[in-house]
Structure 1
Amino acid sequence: MSLSVSRPLAGIASVLCCAAQAASPSPAGNLEPVVVTAARAEQPLSNALGDVSVIDAETLRNAGQSSLAELLQSQYGVDIATNGGPQTTTSVFLRGANSAHTVFLIDGQRVGSSSAGGAGINAIGLADVERIEILRGPASGLYGADAIGGVVNIITRRPAADRPLEAHGSAGIGSWNTRKADAGLSGSSGMWRYALSAGHASSDGFNATKPTEPGGLFDPDRDGYREDHAAGRLGLTWADGQDIEASFLRSRLNGQYDGGDGFDDRMIQKTESYSLASTNRIARSWTSRLRVGRTIDDNVSLYAPSAFDPAGRGAFRTRQTLFSWQNDFALAAGQSLSVAAERREEDVDGTTAFDPSSRNTNSLVGVYRADLSAHHIQGNLRYDHVAAYGSRVTGGLFYGYDLSPAWQATAAASTGFRLPTFNDLYYPIYGNPDLGPESSRNVEAGLRYHRGNVEAGVQAYRNKIDNLVVYQNPFAVNKDAVIKGITLNAAARLGATSLRASLDVTDPEDRNTGQTLTRRARQALKLAAEHRVAGWLLGAEWLASGSRLDTAYNASSFSNETYRLGGYSLLNLTASYDLTRQLRLQVRWNNVTDKDYEFARGYATPGSNVFVSLSYQP
């Protein structure tokens, strides 16, 4: 990794840090964000020792029509790839790790596919989401298997306490005949609180592939989608400190993709999450949290029938049943301990039969936190016993030292692991039942600045991954990789203007070949600004990404070939006007310069497009 990046990093940091003197203080009553992902318990964001950030409700509202993947792409340390549009297979890379190295949670509950790995986030709309927490770096010591790159916790809308019935909604239309509408209500009455929302979106879309697609999948048509979603909560506070809540989220995406000329290929992705949780304060210093839940990842592909597959249909369904009992203890002043027992039951079925088709994981986890004057410590330790794989122990140790009221130095070491998926192990032809679990060892150090409305940070890390599962002509095999990187991020609010900047330089290397791991960029610069004038909020976003490698099957040579995809830069503009205190008109213009770029060889990405919406928010 070149040290030449240190100058622009230092430049951005100095500009925004020096702006601290000009920054106005936070408005009275403006509460600091609270996060739960970094330590499995609530804490102010400024106290979190892990590399965590929050996409809050205001950012979500200002984002306009952005998909979940596009929204994550705007954050530091995050790269994405799609196979031809928001309705197609979507990958999220945290700190250069594989897409299957990110654990996705919905309200703290794991969701994803045990057959393919990863989660069908392309089916999750933003209308039901209240905020998103992103934890970067190995977190298996907190959340178990697969958290080698990090964790994304999607938190759905919650009803406000002591508020009467309120309604909200939005509707919009844009390029490619894209239409979106959603509505919801929430409130509380006495001991009860409730929230319910639903929505629909559709688009004629753009062509998912280009004539240069090497696998013979090009089809000169438009590939659109239809998406429906709903979410709800019902809570009862039956005594002081005694609470029970039921929640659900369901989404269904029917999206077109290209699998060759002459057939309307489709993928129907369903994501569901259900949970029942009881939170009980046993004593002043002891809170119990008991949860049972189920998540479902259901994927059905419809493609041209052939002699090998007369039905023209492939289906994979993952059901995860989850049990968790966590106890949070307040110890001496500034110290806390969380202890949890968990059980996860995975069941897989579909048109391809797996044997075995299920596995269970029993886990114990402990998290200790201490704030001792200028010293801050967090220790995570987790034991997982996985059927057919035995036991795994992972953990993390985090330390922070306050150099001054504005500056903090941090250091951390953590481990992670990932289990091969059922596809990796048992899928016909390319599955390999002899694959071993992946394991990772990560070290990192950072420096943070926070004063008034200005914050900045620099983080350097090295994540070594053993037994990385990769596909090699065409079998799944274990290899080794190491990911080194440095990230600088900064943000400032200067009166009516907000600024955000980040620079990521990553070196994700396959140790066996020396090549960069596919479909992720080595450099990414992200800039954003918003300015409020009268009733207008004007915004601009600029993303510059370096080149990336991609390995794709070439139908002409009957072999896998490696391609270099060029770098690109994107400019997005937003404008919104508050017609009333509750009613907002918003315009978003993506890819203003109509840049032609690729995340994957031969697959198209959105050209210049516009979306206009009207929203009501009490």
Structure 2
Amino acid sequence: MPFRRLILASGLLCSPVLAQDATSTADWEPVPDVVVIGRGLALPPGTPAYGSSTIERDRLTGDASGRVEDVLADVAGVQQFRRSDSRSANPSAQGLTLRALGGNASSRALVLLDGVPIADPFFGYIPFTALSPERLGAVRITRGGGSGPFGAGAVAGTVELVSASRAELPPVSARASLGSFDSAQISAAVSPNLGSGYVTLFGRAERSDGFFTTPENQRVAATARARFRDWSTGLRAVAPIDAQTELQMAGLVFDDHRTLRFQGADSRSQGQDASLRLIHRGEWQVDALAYLQARNFANKVISATSFRLTLDQRNTPSTGYGGKVEVRPPVGPDHVLRIGVDTRISDGRLYETAYSGATGLPTTLRTAGGHETTSGAFVEDDWTIGRLVLTGGGRVDRWTIDDGFLRETTPIGRITSDNRYADRAGTIATARAGALWHLAAPIDLRAAGYTGFRVPTLNELYRPFVVFPVTTQANAALGLERLKGVEGGVDLHPASGLTVGLTGFYNRLNGAIANVTIGPNLRQRRNVDAIVAKGVEATLDWRHGAMLFDASYALNDSEVRAPGQAFDGLVPAQSPRHAASATLGWAPHQGIAKDALLSATLRHVGRQFEDDLQTDALKAATTVDALACMPVLRGVAVEMRAENLFDVAVQTRNQAGSIDLGTPRTLWIGLVVGGH
């Protein structure tokens, strides 16, 4: 087939794995800024006070799955709503959260790409298939609420994805692999210099006949494999205006098709994004950006009893746009002061048709949607006093929810329901503060406290959905989620190349939005009194010559506070108590084997519950992935990858014993060609 021939003709130089490293350093003296074009302004010195972790480019491009969402699991406690990755999950369920705060598929973490929020404007999910690892330079994950720019939405944490810089991009690169289930992946990029700047044109495509998500003993004639095909392509240009100023322009187009569980249960998500960013690194530093997103989603629901189409969510167009301006005035060498404003606007509609499971005839036409705006102003300051760094700031946000409606008609156009919801608006103040103390060369102490908030998405407010046989109703009266949290930690550097981190935290999410059971096979999105999450997180990062070992572990103790409700005191849905990840690798970086790589990654996710009443549990699962990349010619390598090497059954859904499974053992072989 043409796709397979294209695969065999292409490839990208494989990069050695570097796992997550701590943001603090063994030396207490400030690290001088290194200006790299294509990036944002330098990180304020107080950033490590909030316990952030960084995943470097080599790890992003060296995972066995080749998927960003799986690499994020290197930081224990980071999870999607479900355990499936973007090959076998419904796109609308790919919300991201941290610290076992539960979820209902919308992201509780703020996810940024080069400073731009990338969550879907209507649903709040993250389009992971559009995030090609090869285009990224690093990811910084900060657990806990609060943020400077775009603080609304950062109730569980912030995930900042950074595009690769000129130094990290080879002039021409490509990567291709063939895998189990007639799967194929291909990615390519060209990154020529453009005057004193550069431009990157990249693309990625993949397809697969897919694996069965349904256990063998539950399959029926209508059971289908989790087939998928998706592609994305984009352009990013960096043009210096003068020695201290540059313009960054980016565009992205993506398309994603998936089939889940039954024949005809097809989904499609697509989008077109564009952004413009101005960076000035002079005495008065400036970071200004504007962005536009056009997204759409469609999904067909098949009955698990009649195997007929019961719901056709045929069209969900949405638009997101906004921007920010951040200024750092010169206030002396001991301070980094940030002052800024930002805004995000979301608008969306859904158009769907409900069908009778018995007759297959349409019964209801439904249209719903609305408009949201969140605009804020923030100020933060980092003050360095010898070995002590104090950081703190606050935000004031104005939010609005407008033009909400839900309209239902019969197939011949007779109106059966026409709900128009009252406009709502409010103002909310949030703040965060932290301290980082370089106690001695091998010891860094940190502490932080924060508040945060999240406005419910248009999806949560207005769109009901079905995961057969359970129907979940929307709720136009949903209020804001509000977080309060504290944490403290220590980073130890007992030997060269070794860093150990330990963090304890307490978070309380008031008004948490959850899918609450209100009847047999019936749920509704509601604000519960609170979700309280407390726990401990541990990290280890070791380097010795060509050897490396990284590990993280999260122990979460979460419960729902809902006096008088049946789920009071229970664990939030989709919240494991234990999560762990470890990667062992060999990456010489020099000599004849400098492009070689051997690595193995173990991941564990503990037992968790499917629903709010803890009636259905998902078993704990431990998987092992492996990767080997061996150079065969100058600039040419062969790559072999194994996902879920021991073929562990990973439960991703359990509805009264009806089970879905995640990725089984999947083997890949590929050609990697290119240059650093």
CA pair 223-196 structure 1, distance change in 2 beyond 3 A: same
Check whether the contact 1:142–1:380 (CA below 8 A) recurs between aligned residues. Answer: no
Letter in 2 for 1:422: L
- Among candidates 97, 100, 110, match of residue 117 of structure 2: 110
CA contact (8 A) 2:297 2:316 kept: yes
Residues 353-387 of structure 1 show CA distances to partners (whole Å, capped at 9, x for unaligned) of: 77761122221111211221111111121111012
Separation in structure 2 between the aligned mates of residue 318 and residue 373 of structure 1, nearest angstrom: 49
Structure 1 distance, partners of 2:85, 2:194, is 46
SS of corresponding position for 1:425: helix
Alignment partner of 1:134 is 2:137? no
Distance 1:141 1:481 in 2: 24
Name the CA distance, whole Å, in 2 between partners of 1:173 and 1:564. 35
1:86 — aligned with what?
A: 87
Q: Deviations over 1:317-370 (max 9, x none)?
A: 331111211112242113111111112211112216777611222211112112
Residue 564 (str. 1) matches residue 617 (str. 2): yes
Residue aligning to 2:431: 395
Amino acid at match of 2:205: H
Report the aligned-residue RMSD.
3.1
Partner of 2:504: 460
1:84 deviates by 7.9
SS in 2 for 1:223: coil
Which residue number corresponds to residue 491 of structure 2?
448
The C-alpha deviation readout for 1:415-470, integer Å capped at 9, x for no partner, is 01111122322336822232221101000000012353211100010100111111
Match of 2:208 among 200, 203, 219: 203
Distance in structure 2 (CA, Å) of the matches to 1:548 and 1:390 = 36
Structure 1 counterpart of 2:384: 371
Shift of 1:230: 1.0
**Superposed displacement of residue 229, structure 1:** 0.9
Q: Tell me by how many angstroms 1:57 deviates.
A: 1.4
The one-letter code matched in structure 2 to 1:491 is D
1:432 alignment partner in structure 2: 475
User: Which residue pairs with 1:171 in the alignment?
Assistant: 176
Partner of 1:22: none
Q: What code does the residue aligned with 1:134 have?
A: I
**Contact 1:113 1:297 (8 Å CA) reproduced:** yes
Give the letter for the 1:317 counterpart.
Answer: P
Measured in 1, the distance between the counterparts of 2:371 and 2:42 equals 33
Secondary structure of 1:527's counterpart equals: strand
Name which of structure 1's ranges 111-120 and 606-615 shifts more when overlaid on structure 2: 111-120
Is the 2:573–2:614 Cα contact (8 Å) retained in structure 1? no
1:490 equivalent in alignment to 2:550? no
Distance 1:311 1:65 in 2: 32
- Structure 1 position 141, deviation (Å): 4.9
- Provide closer, same or farther for how the CA distance between residues 437 and 464 of structure 1 changes in structure 2, counting only shifts above 3 A: same
Aligned to 2:108: 101
> Match of 2:667?
610
Superposed CA offset, 1:288-308 (max 9, x none) = 222111123321113459999
* Letter matched to residue 644 of structure 2: N
Indicate which of 570, 576, 580 corresponds to 1:521: 576
CA distance in 2, matches of 1:591, 1:278: 43
Within-5 A mapping of 1:141-290: 141-160=148-167, 166-210=171-215, 219-258=222-261, 260=262, 263-281=263-281, 284-290=282-288
Letter in 1 for 2:491: R
SS of equivalent to 2:460: helix
**One-letter amino acid of the counterpart of residue 236, structure 2:** R
Name the CA shift for 1:217/1:370 in 2 (closer, same or farther; >3 Å): farther
How far apart are residue 221 of structure 1 and its match?
2.2
CA gap of 1:250–1:156, structure 2 versus 1, over 3 A, is: farther
Distance 2:614 2:246 in 1: 56
2: CA distance between counterparts of 1:500 and 1:34? 28
Taking every aligned residue pair, what percent have the same amino acid on both sides?
19
- Residue 357 of structure 1 aligns to a residue whose secondary structure is strand
Point out the more displaced range, 534-543 or 516-525. 534-543
Is structure 2 residue 608 aligned with structure 1 residue 548?
Answer: yes
- Say if 1:84 and 1:458 are closer, same or farther in 2 by CA, change over 3 A: closer
CA distance in 2, matches of 1:63, 1:311: 37
Q: CA deviation at 1:561?
A: 7.1
5+ residue gaps in structure 1?
Answer: 1-24, 553-559
Deviation at 1:74, TM superposition (A): 2.2
Asked if 2 retains the 8 angstrom alpha-carbon contact of 1:205 and 1:224, the reply is yes
Q: 2 CA distance for matches of 1:321 and 1:276?
A: 12
- Distance (whole Å) between structure 2 residues aligned to residue 446 and residue 35 of structure 1: 30
Q: Which amino acid aligns with 1:528?
A: T
Contact 2:64 2:642 (C-alpha < 8 Å) held by counterparts? no
Matched residues in 1 for 2:427 and 2:237: separation? 37
Distance 1:312 1:354, change over 3 A: closer
Partner amino acid, structure 1, of 2:608: R
Within 5 Å, which residues of 2 pair with 1:254-333?
254-258=257-261, 260=262, 263-281=263-281, 284-303=282-301, 312-333=312-333
Q: 3-state DSSP class of the match of 2:181?
A: helix
TM normalised by structure 2 equals: 0.78
C-alpha spacing 1:31/1:220, structure 2 compared with 1 (3 Å): farther
CA contact (8 A) 1:304 1:312 kept: no
**How far did residue 181 of structure 1 move?**
1.1
2: CA distance between counterparts of 1:471 and 1:31? Answer: 48
1:71 Cα deviation after fit: 1.1
Match of 2:551 in 1: 501
Contact map agreement 1:244 1:278 (CA 8 A) in 2? yes
Asked if the contact 2:36–2:165 (Cα under 8 Å) also holds between the matched residues in 1, the reply is no
Tell whether the 8 Å contact from 1:499 to 1:530 is kept in structure 2 after alignment. yes
Deviation of 1:551 after TM superposition, in Å, equals 2.0
Distance 1:280 1:87 in 2: 42
User: Which runs of no fewer than 5 residues in structure 2 stay unpaired?
Assistant: 1-25, 353-365, 401-423, 465-471, 563-567
* Superposed CA offset, 1:26-59 (max 9, x none): 9xxx9999999xxx84228896322212221111
Distance 2:85 2:245 in 1: 48
TM-score when normalising by structure 1: 0.85
Residue equivalent to 1:475: 524
Q: C-alpha displacement at 1:310, in angstroms?
A: 8.2
Matched, 1:415 2:451: yes
Supply the AA of the counterpart residue of 1:202: R
Native 8 Å contact 2:44 2:336 kept in 1 = no
